[in-house]
Amino acid sequence: DVVMTQSPLSLPVTLGQPASISCRSSQSLVYSDGNTYLNWFQQRPGQSPRRLIYKVSNRDSGVPDRFSGSGSGTDFTLKISRVEAEDVGVYYCMQGTHWPWTFGQGTKVEIK
Amino acid sequence: EVQLVESGGGLVQPGGSLRLSCAASGFAFSTYWMHWVRQAPGKGLVWVSRINSDGSSTTYTDSVKGRFTISRDNAKNTLYLQMNSLRAEDTAVYYCTVGLGDYWGQGTLVTVSS
């Protein structure tokens, strides 16, 4: 299985400051169709996961533009330009290129 | 509005069975791959199974192969997960999700314990 490794696992952030989460895969996530199926999900406390970013850098509908995704191959990053209180939760990267699809361990974002 | 509503979870003894359902609305259910993902208490997300749009192709993660069966009824816009020979390590919230995690249900809790 493809191993997804996130860092850091815990991220205390001051309100209004930027935050960055790294995700690395054990294999290239470029699919045979040329797409890279790397998604980012947010799970707020007590809620279901919600997709924020699909195919590396595409924001889902309704996702604030302070969230951005980047990367290629095996190295990917989720950035929050200015953290707000509602951003508290656990963030997961997920690869949908190789079955079984796999998630990172999760990064817990909290307010300092 | 897309809605996915899971049901069927509960407390079951080791070796027992449960059938989960996921009622879908707000999108063309019969044209999408559907998936089950689980999350053990306090743990991360694990993809369990997937089924293609017409139900002719299914895939499972190794830990549930031979014990779980995914199916769908496109006439009823409903996804199922039949879980047999349940083990303590199957205890989790089970979510149904569509596409590449586009939308998720609220989840249903399965607890396997004597």
| pLDDT tens by residue, chain A, 112 residues | 999 999 999 999 999 999 999 999 999 999 999 999 999 999 999 999 999 999 999 999 999 999 999 999 999 999 999 999 999 999 999 999 998 999 999 999 999 9
d(CA A82, CA B33): 35
**What single string gives the DSSP state of each residue in A22-64?**
EEEESS--B-TTS-B-EEEEEE-TTS--EEEEETTTEEPTT--
CATH architecture designation of domain A4-111: Sandwich (2.60)
Q: How near does any CA of chain A get to the CA of B12, in Å? A: 23
pLDDT tens digits for range B22-62: 999 999 999 999 999 999 999 999 999 999 999 999 999 99
Report which DSSP code applies to A16: T
Q: Does B5 touch chain A (CB under 8 A)?
A: no
Q: What is the DSSP letter of A101?
A: P
Nearest-angstrom CA–CA distance, A7 and A20: 9
Domain locations in chain A as residue ranges: 4-111
Q: Would you say residue B100 has pLDDT above 90?
A: no
Q: Is B26 on the interface with A (CB under 8 A)?
A: no
Q: What share of chain B in percent tops pLDDT 90?
A: 96
Tokens coding B109: 């809790």
